[in-house]
Structure 1
Amino acid sequence: MPDNDLDPITFEILRHRLWVINDEAATTIGRVSGSQVATEANDVNTALMTPDGQVVVTGIYILVQVVSLSGVIQDILANYGDNPGIRSGDMFLTNDPYVGAPHQPDAIVVAPIFDGETLIAWSGSVVHQPDVGGPTAGSINVAARSIFEEPIPMPPVRIVEGGVIRRDIEREYLIRSRTPDLNALDLLGQVAANRLQAERVLELCARYGTDTLVNTLQRLVTATETQFRQRLASLPDGRFRHTAFMEHDGRENTVFAIRLTMTKRGEKLTLDFTESSDQAESGVNATLATTQNFAMAAVMALLGYGMPWVPAGFAAAVDLRTREGSVVHARWPAAVAMSVNAAGQEVRTCVNACIARLLDAAGEPDGAFGDRVLASCMSSAPAQTIAGRTEQGRPFGTMLLDGLLGGGGARGFADGADVSGILTSPGAACANIEVIEQRYPLRYLWRRERPDSGGPGRYRGGVSAEHGYLPHRAGGRFDTTVFSHGVEQPTSTGVAAGEPGAPTGMMLVPGEPDVDTPAEDVAAGGTALPAKASVAIEPRQTYLSWCAGGGGVGDPLDRPADEVLADVRAGLVSRDGAERDYGVVIADSAVDPVATDTLRRDRRRTRLGGRDPLPPADVARSGRRRLSSALDVVAGSVQCRRCDTEIGPATDNVRQHLVTAELPVTKRWPETARHEGARRFVFRRYFCPGCAAQVDTEIALRGEPIVHATELWT
């Protein structure tokens, strides 16, 4: 049956049914698995694909796990058609990042779905494993110089043959791991999930016809592509840039830059990462598949609202450009195990920032796109694996998911969600403390929201969480590996004049702090850990960590004082933070209006070097083209939307014509001063030279040129 013969009612019924089937498969994994990574944190995902591997139906969990499943299918089709063959009842297992896995701990199982002799689709699932081998527990070796010093990945292998798990391959897979029992349960869950998908899909074929089912999958791709291209066409053409940083490669405190130039022209989006740093001699690198995962997941999350998340449909309108041998397209045998919490995250941040600029430039009519502006959520996370023995001598090991509780980015109309996690992992969760304490010998002192962690703005970024725990009923010390970045500089980018969320951090503190002691006082007696480290946590020693907050949107001095007061009363902003970040003075649990007006007026004068700012002007909008929520283009010149001051030619980098205030990151975020490398970074604010409105912000390396962030074309 031709695709155009598929009636719309049947199409809608089937596409929703396929979504439910896919979600049922993800639920099946959780019911079978014994790992808190899968059962509590939902660090899994499932997908349905076309016969040639186009990813069509995805789950809502970890979106970056499934976008590149197309590469896995294409590898199997290209290499295994004749030997060992691809038949009904077969399944293939891989954790190879150079084929399609985000990193080695993410195990992928895919299965062809046959109706009779005809291949009609593929099912697939991904589950993060507690350990897949390698020289360190948790499979993250921060000092690895190549993939040979990490878990050696398995290329796609036939793990299920004719419906039966091959014991020889299963043993080969499980013997690598320090947690073989948990990995075995996850494998069974994935096999069960794929079988369920096949059964449900064939039930649809029996009811509606195989051609109808196949055409539905293809129609989903083409319909999504059409919708996405129409949305792109409605947005202004231009070029947008962002540079993100990650520090420390695991052995040396080197800085790597992920640089994106995003071009939107007509119905096409180009994401060009070719100017990013060369690949590292450590596992912070992303393979091409990992970069595809993070870039396309961000595009779908930020521009795909109101559309089905069909990766193949979006990919058809996106040109992703990388340079092999770079930190976002590592060349074999580069180490890559840390990529999902390193280069991959900053790929997402770059896409997030550039799309926010595109939407902010569109803005109107009636705020239709301006309300879709979203600052960056947490980017860096204090990821951690632990291993040791219980007091009974039983070995244990796992990855803790405390690092998922970062802040969400502020929106163009509202604050960011507090402790909401990562944009591209909407279905992810953090394991309950009680579950962790039940399974592992540690005791939490607190899990709580961290005041002042959300990025300041007219709309505040979401605050993050902080944690404190210590060994409890353990047979000695813990061995732990922490792998993060953004402890020296914030990585959760603010947009549209908003400021970044607070950086992440990890510390070891002697003894057991009182739970009522402020976090700053607890940290004062501790030792800050670098972004990557393998250390021991001794008995009677407390491990502290905190996640990054979300970025803000808009000038913080525009935030109404009563909203700042509400945040103070809720414990989300401190009194000092209200004054420092928002210019709001609070006395006797109320806003002091006179002192607040005076402070904010003085702040604006300071922005202009002591000059009085111009008052707002009644600016007519006709004949003006929006550049951002703060700036317009009028007759080839950039002008302030608030006071109508002429700033400079529209062909120039407008930031160079704004008033620039640059200060060390260590002054803006004093906690970063614990790390010597933080002195390399600066925080830049850009102000209108007329009214002193904050127009833009930027994190940069000291002495680095100002990024030309936004160019619009006629």
Structure 2
Amino acid sequence: MSQPALDPITLSVIQAGLQQVCDEMDLSFSRAAFSPVIAEANDRSDGIYAAEDGALIAQGAGGLPVFVGTMQYSTATLIRMIAEGRTVEPQPDDIYIVNDPYLGGTHLMDVRFAKPFYRNGKIWCWLSNTGHWPDTGGAVPGGFSASATSVEQEGLRLPPVRLFKQGKLDPEIYAIITSNIRVADQRIGDVQAQAAALLVGEERLGELLDRYGDDTVAGAIAELRDRARVQMAAFIDAIEPGQYDATAYVDSDGVVDEPLAIKLSVTRQGDELVFDFSGSSAPCAGPMNSVRATTLSSVYLAMRHIFPEVPMNAGAFAPLKVTGIEGTFLDAQYPRPVSGCAAEVSQRIAEAVFAALVPALPERVTAAPAGTSGNFALGGHDPARGRDFVMYQLSGGGYGGNADHDGLANGCSTIGISKAPPVEIMEQAFPVLYRHYALHEGSGGAGKHRGGFGLDYELELRRGSARASFVMDHGRFGPQGVMGGRDGAPNKVTVWQSGQPHVPPHLSKEQDIPLGPGDRVHVRTPGGGGYGDPFTRDPKLVAEDVRLGRYSIDQAKELFGVAVTATDFTVDETATATLREN
């Protein structure tokens, strides 16, 4: 006898209930974690995945969107490896750990936990989460080795193994991990927080099933998945049939100082979109390769930005087909280094999707955002506390302008909701002093709707010694403007050693830069691209930007064709008309 159709109210309540389970896991993880990058920056995600194939059922709204695809693939890989006898079958209360990029992951610092959820003696689904660990070993503190040429130089690579066996932490596995990473004594807090989040999810999901029944919830999940597929297909159907092309560039791979091209052709075929990356650059020597799971997830998250109304589950991905990545740097194979894939290459992929689809969806798609997570790692010894430290910071940048309004200033990266940890927390936890922390003035790309502004910060090492490493991007090329808008300002990194400035040869990528007391790191992140002809921007808005110090009077004249008086920041309408006519 078939299950009766669910009424809309029950379906909506179950959908919200599944979302709430994931949201509570996210909150528990952040509240209990020790590392600022998780506890403050929220560089983590939690979700529920299907027992048979690992397909995404629900993910926390506060989790990183880039993990929306990668955790699905890593869970699917774990299920397949168990079925093939390549890893041990689970028991109740087991928790697996894995960070292998080639098994559906991202970079090594994104560590995944997966727990089977049992009902009536059978696995009903999987609960999984990802947290960014500040260090997993490797050549440099923090794992962002800008000149790595193999994954072994980036850190410890873990296949799926049971870190918790029937609820108890395996001391031998844990000892292997902590023997290969820095500041190992601080990891237990993150490990226990990550495991505890899954226990919270287990309890809350059990309560939901008890309330509505296993069959009813399973039916709702199937219905929600089908509705997401239909809704995405309906949005695609509104796109004019044809082929839409774009190219985005990665500055360099950190080893060879040449750009890497992401060439994309998007074709609407019926109610599907085909994303063809044929012609993109070959696998690179340095760490800017992307693994398959991250590449696919980058396309999914870009479409999630464009069509946020579509529910977040595996059904939304079904009409999106990705081809042409084989043999390119977007499908890295062992032992290619990949530390830049999740935080940097993923955002260039999303940028290519945005650039391609602006002509098709001008009211929905923005100009390019800053598109870099600003990965900055600092590791060294703090003599005042008598211990080593590893500090990891990500930072925001400008969003692109769009058809309705200017881009957001200092927004989080395209791939997530992670935010820079508060300055006060970083200064308490590490021997650093932030000399200033402000907007990167003038960085927003000019347009009818200008791009948002990036971040401008400078920190000083107060004591001890340290090594700085950067894996960023958009140092060579600023974020793309669209519809006549100008590009945003590029990333700018300067390191001051003994009072002398040093600019990385690869502009925003370098590793192992030695720092002593008083040495400083100055970073100015990119602004977003502009949308539309800058000479059609409302002159009063330009004058207000000048008054607030966002652009200079000369920039207003050059970029927007607006003459602003220096005395009261009003528009000289006659001079402006002349500028815009010429």
- TM-score bin, normalised by smaller chain: over 0.9
Q: Deviations over 1:279-303 (max 9, x none)?
A: 1111110010111121111111212
- Once the two structures are TM-superposed, the CA of residue 87 in structure 1 deviates from its matched residue by 3.0
- Once the two structures are TM-superposed, the CA of residue 4 in structure 1 deviates from its matched residue by 5.5
Inter-partner Cα distance in structure 2 for 1:575 and 1:229? 48
1:419 corresponds, among 401, 410, 414, to 410
Inter-partner Cα distance in structure 2 for 1:542 and 1:260? 39
Map 1:544-559 → 2, pairs under 5 A:
544-559=522-537
- Say if 1:205 and 1:2 are closer, same or farther in 2 by CA, change over 3 A: farther
Q: Deviations over 1:482-515 (max 9, x none)?
A: 112221221x222222221110010023678xxx
Inter-partner Cα distance in structure 2 for 1:567 and 1:3? 60
Inter-partner Cα distance in structure 1 for 2:3 and 2:172? 43
For 1:19, the aligned partner's letter is: Q
Map 1:40-119 → 2, pairs under 5 A:
40-51=40-51, 52-59=53-60, 60-81=62-83, 84-119=88-123
State the secondary structure of the residue aligned to 1:455.
coil
State the secondary structure of the residue aligned to 1:101.
coil
Map 1:316-395 → 2, pairs under 5 A:
316-360=318-362, 370=363, 372-392=364-384, 393-395=386-388
Give unmatched runs, 5+ long, in structure 2. Answer: none
Scaled by the length of structure 1, the TM-score of the pair is 0.78
Q: Deviations over 1:350-393 (max 9, x none)?
A: 11212322202xxxxxxxxx2x2311211134321001111333
**Aligned 8 A contact 2:373 2:413 in 1:** no
For 1:453, the aligned partner's letter is: S
Residue 526 (1) aligns with residue 526 (2) = no
Q: Deviations over 1:301-353 (max 9, x none)?
A: 212x222222x112110111133331111122111112223322211111121
Aligned partner of 2:545 in structure 1 is: 567
**Aligned 8 A contact 1:112 1:121 in 2:** yes
**Aligned 8 A contact 2:68 2:301 in 1:** no
- Say if 1:423 and 1:148 are closer, same or farther in 2 by CA, change over 3 A: closer
State the secondary structure of the residue aligned to 1:138.
coil
**Aligned 8 A contact 2:95 2:116 in 1:** yes
Aligned partner of 1:399 in structure 2 is: 392
Inter-partner Cα distance in structure 2 for 1:23 and 1:228? 24
Scaled by the length of structure 2, the TM-score of the pair is 0.95
- Once the two structures are TM-superposed, the CA of residue 168 in structure 1 deviates from its matched residue by 1.7
- Say if 1:413 and 1:282 are closer, same or farther in 2 by CA, change over 3 A: same
Inter-partner Cα distance in structure 2 for 1:215 and 1:75? 25
Inter-partner Cα distance in structure 2 for 1:221 and 1:174? 40
**Aligned 8 A contact 2:344 2:373 in 1:** no
Aligned partner of 1:441 in structure 2 is: 431
Aligned partner of 1:302 in structure 2 is: 306
Aligned partner of 1:465 in structure 2 is: 455
Inter-partner Cα distance in structure 1 for 2:178 and 2:221? 35
For 2:368, the aligned partner's letter is: S
Aligned partner of 1:190 in structure 2 is: 194
- Higher Rg of the two aligned structures: 1
- Once the two structures are TM-superposed, the CA of residue 421 in structure 1 deviates from its matched residue by 2.1
Aligned partner of 1:538 in structure 2 is: 516
Q: Deviations over 1:203-244 (max 9, x none)?
A: 111111111122222222111111111111122112111111
State the secondary structure of the residue aligned to 2:360.
helix
Aligned partner of 1:148 in structure 2 is: 152
Inter-partner Cα distance in structure 2 for 1:569 and 1:447? 20
State the secondary structure of the residue aligned to 2:361.
helix
Inter-partner Cα distance in structure 1 for 2:221 and 2:159? 27
1:208 corresponds, among 197, 209, 212, to 212
Inter-partner Cα distance in structure 1 for 2:427 and 2:448? 40
For 2:279, the aligned partner's letter is: E
Map 1:259-298 → 2, pairs under 5 A:
259-298=263-302
Give unmatched runs, 5+ long, in structure 1. Answer: 361-369, 513-524, 603-714
**Aligned 8 A contact 2:366 2:401 in 1:** yes
- Once the two structures are TM-superposed, the CA of residue 150 in structure 1 deviates from its matched residue by 2.1
- Say if 1:4 and 1:569 are closer, same or farther in 2 by CA, change over 3 A: farther
Inter-partner Cα distance in structure 2 for 1:216 and 1:65? 23
Aligned partner of 1:314 in structure 2 is: 316
Residue 489 (1) aligns with residue 464 (2) = no
- Say if 1:187 and 1:336 are closer, same or farther in 2 by CA, change over 3 A: same
For 1:422, the aligned partner's letter is: S
For 1:597, the aligned partner's letter is: A
Aligned partner of 1:38 in structure 2 is: 38
Inter-partner Cα distance in structure 2 for 1:446 and 1:532? 22
- Say if 1:464 and 1:197 are closer, same or farther in 2 by CA, change over 3 A: same
2:489 corresponds, among 485, 498, 502, to 502
- More displaced stretch, 216-225 vs 448-457: 216-225
**Aligned 8 A contact 1:46 1:66 in 2:** no
Inter-partner Cα distance in structure 1 for 2:346 and 2:201? 29
- Once the two structures are TM-superposed, the CA of residue 65 in structure 1 deviates from its matched residue by 2.1
Aligned partner of 1:599 in structure 2 is: 579
- Say if 1:594 and 1:509 are closer, same or farther in 2 by CA, change over 3 A: farther
**Aligned 8 A contact 2:399 2:529 in 1:** yes
State the secondary structure of the residue aligned to 2:88.
helix
- Say if 1:532 and 1:54 are closer, same or farther in 2 by CA, change over 3 A: same
Question: Which structure would you say has the larger RCO, counting Cα contacts within 8 Å and 6 or more residues apart?
Answer: 2
Please, what is the CA RMSD of the aligned residues?
Answer: 1.7
**Aligned 8 A contact 1:120 1:214 in 2:** no
For 2:471, the aligned partner's letter is: F
Aligned partner of 2:562 in structure 1 is: 584
Inter-partner Cα distance in structure 1 for 2:117 and 2:202? 6
**Aligned 8 A contact 2:495 2:501 in 1:** yes
Inter-partner Cα distance in structure 2 for 1:3 and 1:185? 45
- Once the two structures are TM-superposed, the CA of residue 133 in structure 1 deviates from its matched residue by 0.8
Q: Deviations over 1:611-630 (max 9, x none)?
A: xxxxxxxxxxxxxxxxxxxx
- Once the two structures are TM-superposed, the CA of residue 434 in structure 1 deviates from its matched residue by 0.7
For 2:217, the aligned partner's letter is: L
Q: Which segments of structure 1 move beyond 6 Å, counting only runs of 4 or more?
A: none
- More displaced stretch, 385-394 vs 284-293: 385-394
- State the aligned residue count: 572
- Say if 1:237 and 1:127 are closer, same or farther in 2 by CA, change over 3 A: same
State the secondary structure of the residue aligned to 1:563.
helix
Inter-partner Cα distance in structure 2 for 1:17 and 1:343? 34
Inter-partner Cα distance in structure 1 for 2:460 and 2:3? 60
**Aligned 8 A contact 2:354 2:365 in 1:** no
**Aligned 8 A contact 1:50 1:214 in 2:** no
**Aligned 8 A contact 1:174 1:184 in 2:** no
Inter-partner Cα distance in structure 1 for 2:268 and 2:541? 36
Q: Deviations over 1:243-265 (max 9, x none)?
A: 11112322231221111111122
State the secondary structure of the residue aligned to 1:84.
coil
- Once the two structures are TM-superposed, the CA of residue 164 in structure 1 deviates from its matched residue by 2.0
**Aligned 8 A contact 1:58 1:66 in 2:** yes
Inter-partner Cα distance in structure 1 for 2:397 and 2:549? 16
Aligned partner of 1:450 in structure 2 is: 440
Aligned partner of 1:428 in structure 2 is: 418
- Say if 1:382 and 1:429 are closer, same or farther in 2 by CA, change over 3 A: closer
Aligned partner of 1:247 in structure 2 is: 251
